[in-house]
Structure 1
Amino acid sequence: MTTIIPTFDARGLADVLEASSQEQLDALDFGVIGFDGDAVVQRYNAFESQAAGLSPQRVLGEPLFTNVAPCLNNFLVAQRFEDAAQDGSELDDTIDYVLTLRMRPIKVKLRLLASAAGATRYVLVQRR
């Protein structure tokens, strides 16, 4: 039986990620950072760990927007999650972005995912 590996642009990806094991997250070819309602990182895949140079031990259990990736703490990223949570609405936005913290500037696509029912929110990182 063949397992279908979801793509960065797949429909319904928040639900797929929510149901995925750590091994399934690690098989993806894009970065996955999953965090709870308090913005504390709960899920982090191997692709993102290697690309960002941050071990899971350094990231898991830490506040995403202050300790892990303060370069995402702005109206383009963090505020969208806050607004969706306040409205109780779904979030599925893809934006062009430049990561700058601890590295030379890198152009990426970010996909911001939050379902009204899901406990985990996701920042997905596709490096070009």
Structure 2
Amino acid sequence: MDALAFDQPDLGQRLAALSDEQIDDAPFGIIGFDETTAVRRYNRFEAQAAGLSPVSVLGQPFFTSVAPCMNNFMVAQRFEDALADGSGLDDTIPYVLTLRMRPTKVKLRLLALPGTALRYVLVQRQS
């Protein structure tokens, strides 16, 4: 299997086909959540970078319990809009994480493919 890249064009399709063990090998954070925003996938990179264990994150509402700093028009609203109109979402935005940490510059990739069970927030930390 080829390594995952944050900016690869077919990443949404690739993530849907990979096991949890395979996404653990990614060199960036991967959080997958369902239509109720409950976190269903949380990779090792993100767990270590955010300091949150998978046990404390899986099953929790992403935008209210895990990452309330993303519960805004820039992130959460884009997913809501895509879900409401049945469209896809693939946007990359600069962002600053602020919850439980000093402000940290990142790039977020927001992925949602119509007809798939999970939507994804990918987090690439700046070096």
Q: Secondary structure at the match of 1:14?
A: helix
TM-score, normalised relative to structure 1: 0.97
Q: Secondary structure at the match of 1:124?
A: strand
Q: Secondary structure at the match of 2:59?
A: coil
In structure 2, stretches of 5+ residues that fail to align are none
In structure 1, stretches of 5+ residues that fail to align are none
CA distance in 1, matches of 2:20, 2:55: 14
TM-score, normalised relative to structure 2: 0.98
Residue identity in the other structure for 1:40: A
* TM-fit CA distance, 1:46: 0.0
CA distance in 1, matches of 2:101, 2:95: 14
Residue identity in the other structure for 2:119: R
Q: Secondary structure at the match of 1:109?
A: strand
Aligned length: 126
Q: Secondary structure at the match of 1:39?
A: coil
The aligned counterpart of 1:75 is 73
The aligned counterpart of 1:41 is 39
CA distance in 1, matches of 2:108, 2:96: 9
Residue identity in the other structure for 1:59: V
CA RMSD of aligned residues (A): 0.5
